[in-house]
Amino acid sequence: MWYRNWLAEIARATLTALAAAIALGAAMPAGAEVETALVTGGTVKGTIAEGLSVFKGIPFAAPPVGELRWKRPQPVHRWPGVRSAAAFAPSCMQAMDMLKIFGAPEDISEDCLYLNVWTPAKSPRQRLPVMVWITGGGFSLGSTNLPLYDGKNLAKRGVVLVSIAYRVGPLGFMAHPALTREGGGSSGNYGLADQIAGLKWVRANVAHFGGDPANVTIFGESAGGISVSMLAASPAAKGLFQKAISESGGNFGPVRVNETDGGLSMRSLSGAESQGSALLQELGAADIKAARALPAAAIQKLAGPMGRFWPTVDGRLIAGDQYDLYRAKRFNDTPLLIGSNSDEGSLFMPPKVTPDELVAAIRAGYGQKADAVISAYPHATEAEARQALANVFRETAFAWPTWTWSRLHSSQGQGAVYVYYFDQKTPRDPNGSNHGDEMRFVFGNHVQPFGPPTPREQELTAQFMGYWTNFAKTGDPNGPGLPAWPRFTSANAEVMALGDRTGAIDQPNLAPLQVFDDYYAWRRELAGRK
């Protein structure tokens, strides 16, 4: 009799799948855009515009509120009927004043785990390459609904574009001893877990939008690029993507031992737990239960707008020092496209820096290597001192991690590595490309404060978008009509200049990068002794 029950179960499952397929087929005539899709949780209906199907605000996890605050993302709640996917969801909790600067809607919520899809597919059967965008913002800011991140221009080049929201600030990255006990030995990194949950959603659902779940490229800028770096070394992200692009991001410094250590951001789990315990004390919360009962806005306000919380070496999502993980070949080996900008440290500088202030700042953070760092840059005048401090920030936050990542990946992995250096001098940025300046070219959205593109910038936009989408399609940015981009190898360590000129060049700023190579080796030695 057992086989009759088994056959009955098969019949029921088959009829259910057939009914769903018929429903979708009836809603999508042959040759029409993909207007509805059956995804995890139910059916969603998008909008059709400019030959694309656009779906906004699709939930990929349960709202992380109440008892789910400071927990890994949980399965999405099912919904009845057809859910409208015509509008963006609110941004995750963060400083509203900062969002306004970037033109985002003034709508924030703790219920924010939603994603968006732009697809040019005319049928779910097309299997187009997929690009998954991870926003930046120092792990304290970030939203998928910025005009800069509109995915239509990339999608028009034959890719399915997905953008994923993730928790930021204290709600996304706070660790605490009680949370570590709840989490079976780790805590923090909830925002990174959100990204992984989003990628799992893509693997399970993107085929319904004409995307190929076996051809996924993750890409991000700043904290999004750092996230890409972390996912590239995370066992929990293995198999969820086949290519990776990081703009101005990398995570290859050792764990911070002291708060004053220069050029380091990563904390150990115990260090992050201490930070979380201090926040609860400031909040007047006796324990995690009390903290979960507080309004999200109160926690956000006390934590401040920027820089207080960051991903943690939790032993699970981030298994250890990424430099050591790569040397041990413990990473997700895929083709890689990474780079940095020529003057991106300037965005983070005060208006004025004196030579004495520069020297004092470097001595406070760089210990016995401070003299070598100071000597690497001219700093006799206030203008030189400010630029020197900006370049120290450029090197430690963006250029050295990118250079190190390219060397480690090309020597330890099989995936091809392509490296760029963006350098465009404009009246707005006379010393070169500032942090994030490449994004308007990558997305083809020349929004405020940049204004309409010049003819050269239109050409540069076509180059960026062509390189990025070619890489997503094939793992190689090269293609018809584009200047040749050489592969970065130990024997041929060339990078691709983009901006005022386009072409292969030697690694820029090599001398100061080598100074920081020595500095980080020393810091790694100190961290190992701790």
Question: Which tokens go with 332?
Answer: 């997700």
Q: How far apart are CA 186 and CA 196, in angstroms?
A: 16
Residue (of 398, 406, 401) closest to 346 by Cα position = 398
What are phi and psi for residue 73, nearest 5 degrees?
Answer: -60, 140
Tell me how far CA of residue 82 lies from CA of 55, 162, 205, 206, in angstroms. 13, 20, 16, 18
Phi and psi based region of residue 264 (left: phi greater than 0; alpha: psi -120 to 50; beta: remaining): beta
Q: Which residues are catalytic?
A: 222, 344, 435
Q: How far apart are CA 207 and CA 210, in angstroms?
A: 5
The total of other beta-carbon atoms located within 10 Å of residue 354's CB is 13
Tell me how far CA of residue 2 lies from CA of 5, 6, 7, 13, 361, in angstroms. 5, 6, 9, 17, 76
Q: Is 168 helix (H, G, I), strand (E, B) or coil?
A: coil
| Secondary structure of 5-62 in HEC code, one letter for each residue | HHHHHHHHHHHHHHHHHHHHHHHCCCCCCCCEEEECCEEEECEEECCEEEEEEEECCC
Q: How far apart are CA 250 and CA 222, in angstroms?
A: 8
Which amino acid is present at 253? G
What are phi and psi for residue 497, nearest 5 degrees?
Answer: -75, 130
